[in-house]
Amino acid sequence: MVNKVSLEKSKIKFLLLEGIHQNAVDVLKAAGYTNIEYHQKALEPEELKEAIKDAHFIGLRSRTYLTEDVLQEAKKLIAIGCFCIGTNQVDLQAAKKRGIPVFNAPFSNTRSVAELVLGEILVLMRNVPQSNAEVHRGVWNKSAAGSREARGKKLGIVGYGHIGSQLSIIAESLGMKVFFYDIQNKLPLGNAQQVGSLEELLNKCDVISLHIPENDSTKNLINAERIAQFKDGSLLINAARGTVVDIDALADALKSGKIRGAALDVFPEEPASINEEFISPLREFDNVILTPHIGGSTTEAQENIGTEVASKFVKYSDNGSTLSSVNFPEVSLPEHIGSARLLHIHHNKPGILNKINQIFVEKNINIAAQYLQTDPNIGYVVIDVDSTDPTPLLEQLRAIEGTIRARVLY
């Protein structure tokens, strides 16, 4: 067995930003990784560029933007962890072309978001935000006008993925009738019904809740034209991404009463820290619940996310496993005790695997196990060799045209 290590664990630097839960630090330390730079807040762009220069792993949440420009500085970066669901803050293609897998926690905070949305539906139905604001101002306006039960009302969910479907179940248990629109055909849970178009959903439902990702198809999805298709006096909830709703169009609809209440947890522009003022035309409305992107911010969710994403870092660093990466060919690998493991990441072009294997044939080195996974852009080959130190082969492997990076794990 080879005793050398590719890079001592104490030299592998983890840069953890945005107050990631302590569980992440504990998982890394338990696995022998002690070089952890921890920040409670997001870093300013120039600080980030400096700190990422010698980082092998970076962990972030929704306020750190890893653009092409920032990744340019990250010459040593091996993997990125989004300690959340969304990965829109990372340029996934720019990471991929550098051979950097991106991991996230696809459902650790799902329940937390669904519970917050359900609570918002209930209080908006009862005009609680307005009553609360009035009582705080000393106004005792005891009235049932416009106050409704959720039971029997129609909930329209846009995006029936992890959160949308979880919300569907718990809303139905309250007696709401659930309809959803999704670009994919989805298995409806309970008595929920999928509808054929967004327009049909907006026309039909009393409450619309958005649970779609940020991408080109969802940018300003809820704009003036769409809002015109809402039932009069309906409610809108957005705990997905801020770019999905045209805020000025929503403000107009709130003024006219077309939309009678709303809850927003995410915004097109979110302050970077508590020191920056939140500016929005929605601040003037008592019938709008505004929260600072805390849909997934519960103790339970943050604990789970810390453990989940840090464990993915450890698996990739120790073992090369990329299972559940969002931008990378996924390989789930067994332990490699007693053998050295070579990782080769390359552009997906014909003949590269052949060239890799030829090197082993020429050196008369037996390949104990080999794993290959590709996507249209890149290939990821993992090669186990028994009782042989493959370090001298690294130069040859790196010289193969189309190689993005090659490493050895011992």
Ligand X SMILES: O=C(O)CC[C@@H](O)C(=O)O
Ligand Y SMILES: NC(=O)c1ccc[n+]([C@@H]2O[C@H](COP(=O)([O-])OP(=O)(O)OC[C@H]3O[C@@H](n4cnc5c(N)ncnc54)[C@H](O)[C@@H]3O)[C@@H](O)[C@H]2O)c1
The residues binding ligand Y (CB under 6 A) are 85-86, 109-110, 113, 158-164, 181-184, 211-214, 217-218, 239-241, 265-266, 293, 295-296
CB nearer to ligand Y: pick between 24 and 264 = 264
Regarding 237 and contact with ligand X (CB under 6 A), the answer is no
Is residue 241 annotated as a catalytic residue, yes or no?
A: yes
Pick from 51, 55, 85, 210 the residue near ligand X by CB under 6 A: 85
Q: Which stretch binds ligand X (CB under 6 A): 72-80, 83-91, 330-338, 348-356?
A: 83-91
| Strands annotated E in 61-176 | 79-82, 102-103, 154-158
Beta strand pairing call for 57-60 and 14-16:
parallel
> Which residue number places its CB atom closest to ligand Y?
161
Q: Which stretch binds ligand X (CB under 6 A): 23-31, 82-90, 215-223, 327-335?
A: 82-90
Q: What is the DSSP string of 310-344?
A: HHHHHHHHHH---TT-SSS--------TTEEEEEE
Classify residue 54 by burial, with Cβ atoms within 10 Å: 0-12, 13-18, 19+: middle
Two tokens, residue 258: 């077309």
Do 306 and 23 contact (CB within 8 A), yes or no?
A: yes
The order of strands in the sheet holding 177-181 is 193-194, 177-181, 154-158, 207-210, 234-238, 259-264, 288-290
CB nearer to ligand X: pick between 61 and 312 = 61
Q: Which stretch binds ligand X (CB under 6 A): 80-88, 204-212, 336-344, 369-377?
A: 80-88
Do 80 and 90 contact (CB within 8 A), yes or no?
A: yes
Taking CB within 5 to 8 Å according to partner kind, which of ligand X, ligand Y, none is near residue 212?
A: ligand Y
**Annotated catalytic residue, options 61, 211, 293, 344:** 293
Taking CA atoms, 86 is separated from 225, 239, 313, 334, 342, in Å, by 27, 12, 17, 28, 31
Is residue 346 annotated as a catalytic residue, yes or no?
A: no
Q: How far is the CB of 166 from ligand Y (least distance, A)?
A: 8
Q: How far is the CB of 89 from ligand Y (least distance, A)?
A: 10
Enumerate long-range contacts of 25-30, CB under 8 Å, 24 or more apart.
25/306, 25/310, 27/306, 27/307, 27/310, 27/311, 27/314, 28/310, 28/313, 28/314
- The count of residues interacting with ligand X (CB under 6 A) is 7
Taking CB within 5 to 8 Å according to partner kind, which of ligand X, ligand Y, none is near residue 61?
A: ligand X
**Annotated catalytic residue, options 214, 270, 303, 330:** 270
Regarding 86 and contact with ligand X (CB under 6 A), the answer is yes
- From CA 111, how far away is CA 90, in angstroms rounded? 24
Is residue 226 annotated as a catalytic residue, yes or no?
A: no
CB nearer to ligand Y: pick between 222 and 356 = 222
CB nearer to ligand X: pick between 62 and 311 = 62
CB nearer to ligand X: pick between 45 and 106 = 106
CB nearer to ligand X: pick between 84 and 236 = 84
Regarding 153 and contact with ligand X (CB under 6 A), the answer is no
Classify residue 347 by burial, with Cβ atoms within 10 Å: 0-12, 13-18, 19+: middle
Residues marked active site are found at: 241, 270, 293
Contact residues: ligand X, CB under 6 A:
61-62, 84-86, 109, 296
